[in-house]
Structure 1
């Protein structure tokens, strides 16, 4: 109900009561000279009471709103994902022979270079085995040389008929047996020499070592874990990429060569890591349980700031959008027909506009359809607006295109 329909009857009732009260006093004042002054006061009072209604001051003032003039923008669609750091290479260092661990030659947790000595294993039994293998090889070599001389002599005698064919064949077999024995002895010597080399355990890669697994003096078995070496000057960051985001990014990289899969690394304290990473692997299969694809980024880590096992966040530009219209998310409402925004038309009146929404980027909503460049969209003060209602713009924001 309009306010004037409530106020006007109250004013008329008040005027009626005042007139009755004044008339009852006219008779008392008729004998005095105050009658003309009283009549003038009544006229003035009536005029004052009617003035607000006649001047239209009972109507509500225009609603105050803040608007933003939308303009085409070029913007990066960026998303963040939880991730975990792993060493680019993580190697388990294991004993390759079954002997006693004599010495740990490095400090636990220290940085080592590829080829550095990590452990010494007792070499004495292996040196003995090597000496035995060398002696065995010498024996078979002597036998092979004697068999070769016997065979040469038998060949000469057989040509003169002095040796039977069976004797010749026997000496030939003896030579072949001696050659096979020498080959076996040589292989055993090589194996003994190789096992002896395993008594010095060297770092397979450059990186940091873990805590020792077995103390010095332990009897090792072949395959016993000694330590782990983790490469830290370069790390891998693993994260799960939602199927939709992975599809958007894959398509964008095909059509936009400037997108090279670079990622930002956000540390646990929300600070930005100084070096960017680059995606070097994405899984070819979707995890049906989570609907995500495993992705891996490689990141330089010369100062060791990123620690294997650390949780971080990865920021990835999925694609670059060009000439899009965006509004703050609080400017978007909804009704039975879908999403809507309020505009201020050139006449200063509220206008309702149905729109089609795109993606949300940060705190802004992409409008796929329904707006034109230069439209004044209400971003504050939408409550209570009706189409055609007069509004007063309290402030204007103009988001210029990049």
Structure 2
């Protein structure tokens, strides 16, 4: 029995040894790994501290894009929103009843004043004209005969051959026929006018719209929709608005008696459509919007403006002569105002406060504290601080070759990282 107990104890000891040996190996491995990591972290910390102690930073220079401040005349514009308004728009309607026998224009065609657009069956009006002319001929003959009798009565009256009453009666007859002849002439003119109305001509020069009535239809003088709408496009006007706080500037410019240049752009504000000039200012400010209406006129030779089209307006107000200007991307703001980062010869940046003027497009006029040919940062600003070292990737939109020293430092740091386990 004792032998069995010893055997069981021996088996239990062997199993414990088999379990404890791998566990001990795992613990030793973890301790060694922790020591290794702590050793390298301590080395890197000492290196960074040493680097700061020696007066330089371990961080690589900030990669930025820069541009050169320019000095030139700077145009000042006022921007507004406007709607293209035709100077004249006419609905061509028939003025007589009849069958539309001819349509002489194409939809979207540019027509001139007096051009034939359509024709109504003229035969009924020709017949009316013939009747009126025949009536006129008959009554003119009666008038002529009455006049001859009146002249003869005057002669007989002088000879005391007839009574004065007969002469007076004949005179009244002559006047009556003269009145009838005048009425007949009016009827002839009216018949000619009705016949002329059978030809529908363009009352103005402009662009014909879509046809509203097709050939073969019976048209009436009281048709409201008409045959076609003609819109004058050359010249054309734009009604736009400006805020009331700009009114005095506009009025002063308007009183100079020099043409005020106005430019029209598409809805996006990127494509220029036409050039024009300021035509008029409204006499009151809209109290609901606080804006003043203005009207500009455009020759529209290229027909790029259409009635009721929405456009962006830029009105040239003034020109600042010989002023420093940079891209708006170079301008940053904080609680103290606007500033730029200027790059010096050592490729470090200086934060410089500036006084800004008007903005036009992506350019800003800088009125103070920035000179022409100063190098300002336009990209990478958010990573900069006063005195930051920079690496210029682009200058004035062109790529710049990498600095060999900066590239070597960056490659050395990358290689050091690669050597770490």
Which interval holds the TM-score relative to the shorter structure?
Answer: 0.5 to 0.7
Give structure 1 stretches of 5+ with no counterpart.
1-48
Give structure 2 stretches of 5+ with no counterpart.
1-45, 398-421
Give 1:1-400 correspondences, 5 Å limit.
56-57=53-54, 70-77=69-76, 90-97=89-96, 99-106=97-104, 109=107, 111=109, 113-114=111-112, 115-204=114-203, 205=205, 207-213=207-213, 216-222=216-222, 225-230=225-230, 234=234, 236=236, 238-243=238-243, 261=261, 263=263, 265-266=265-266, 276-279=274-277, 281-285=279-283, 288=286, 289-290=288-289, 291=291, 292-301=293-302, 311=310, 313=312, 317-329=316-328, 330-336=330-336, 338-341=337-340, 350=350, 352-353=352-353, 355-373=354-372, 381=381, 385=385, 390-392=387-389, 394-395=391-392
Partner SS for 2:118: strand
Q: Name the CA shift for 1:331/1:299 in 2 (closer, same or farther; >3 Å).
A: same
Please give the TM-score of this superposition, normalised by the length of structure 2: 0.62
Partner SS for 1:195: helix
Tell me the number of residue pairs that the alignment of Structure 1 and Structure 2 aligns.
341
The range that moved more, 359-368 or 287-296, is: 287-296
The range that moved more, 183-192 or 363-372, is: 363-372
Aligned mates of 1:264, 1:50 — CA distance in 2: 63
State the 1:186 CA deviation.
0.7
Q: Name the CA shift for 1:281/1:256 in 2 (closer, same or farther; >3 Å).
A: closer
State the 1:322 CA deviation.
1.8
Partner of 1:25: none
Q: Name the CA shift for 1:218/1:236 in 2 (closer, same or farther; >3 Å).
A: same
Aligned mates of 2:94, 2:48 — CA distance in 1: 105
